[in-house]
Amino acid sequence: MMKKRILLALTTLAGLSSFNVAGAVEQMKPEHTEVWKEIKKVNPDPIPSDAVALFDGKNMNHWQHTDGSKVKWKVEDGTVTITNGTPSIETKQKFCDVQLHLEFRAPIPEGEPLGQSQGNSGVFLQKRYEVQVLDSYDNPTYANGQAASIYKQNPPLVNASRAPMNWQTYDIIYRAPIFADNGKVKVKAQVTVLHNGILVQDHFQIMGPTRYIGLPEYEEAHGCEPLELQNHGQVVSYRNIWIRKL
């Protein structure tokens, strides 16, 4: 009988039910709500010990161009910078649910603000879902195309951009979509983004793969895929890229 009362109390408390728990709580002891298990230790410095250092400033061993060729972007002084005339790059490893950290730097603009042609790149999760990289410090453009937007889908909650040539951070928590046996999406992809430490995307449900023209929709089922960094013809630099499988 005691076990039943304890189970009822725990279930009620966890579900925030309107059931009167006073009687059940009176029968409980502190240890009845204590969870004892070993939690994996992770050293957070300099990066999480269970993370993969996709780019540590030394080489591009974890990457290739999207055509499968060796990366030709410039690696110098701990950074990798887009080289015009080359394809985008992608990781050799495939990922689904991840925590991703990266830092990027937009170049000094020349002349008047150029909108989408000013420090443009992009982080493509599973090669399909883009978190926009752009110089949005003083560079008006459409809201769902500025820095930290889910491109052409959802604007950031705030504009947290730093001025060009300052390093900026993205911390991204991403949950991959889940598909039913018939190939239809059952659970949409979801993403949370912190831009320079500020929450800008809060568990946003991605509506489908990124499209420049037209509405996004999930047209086909897919599994884990590489992370892609876009070459959009701008001289954008990256550094300190690491990723954790969730």
Q: What is the pLDDT of residue 152?
A: 98
pLDDT at residue 127, as a whole number = 98
Burial label for 16, CB within 10 Å (0-12, 13-18, 19+), is exposed
Tens of pLDDT, residue by residue over 182-234, are 999 999 999 999 999 999 999 999 999 999 999 999 999 999 999 999 999 99
DSSP string over 72-140? -SEEETTEEE--TTS--EEESS-BSSEEEEEEEEPPPP-SS--GGGSS-EEEEETTTEEEEE---SS--
What pLDDT, in 10s, does the model give residues 127-181? Answer: 999 999 999 999 999 999 999 999 999 999 999 999 999 999 999 999 999 999 9
Please say if the pLDDT value at position 9 is more than 60: no
52-245: CATH topology is Jelly Rolls (2.60.120)
Tell me what pLDDT residue 10 has.
Answer: 52
Binning the chain into helix, strand and coil, the percentages to the nearest 5 are 10, 30, 55
Amino acid 16: pLDDT: 46
Compute the distance between CA of residue 197 and CA of residue 15 in angstroms, rounded to an integer. Answer: 32
Q: What is the pLDDT of residue 11?
A: 54
The full length of the chain comes to: 246
Taking the CB of residue 210, how many other CB atoms lie within 10 A of it?
Answer: 20
More confident: 11 or 158: 158
Q: Where in the chain is the domain with CATH 2.60.120.560?
A: 52-245
The confidence score (pLDDT) of residue 57 equals: 96
Across the chain, what does the average pLDDT equal?
92
Cα–Cα distance, 173 to 180 (Å, whole number) = 23
H-run or E-run covering 65: strand 63-65
Q: State phi, psi for 241 to the nearest 5 degrees.
A: -105, 120
Question: What confidence tens digit (pLDDT) does each residue in 30-78 have?
Answer: 999 999 999 999 999 999 999 999 999 999 999 999 999 999 999 999 9
Question: Residue 8, class by beta-carbon neighbours within 10 Å (0-12 exposed, 13-18 middle, 19+ buried)?
Answer: middle
The reported pLDDT for the residue numbered 216 is 97
pLDDT band at 111 (very low <50, low <70, confident <90, very high): confident
Q: Is the pLDDT of residue 103 over 60?
A: yes
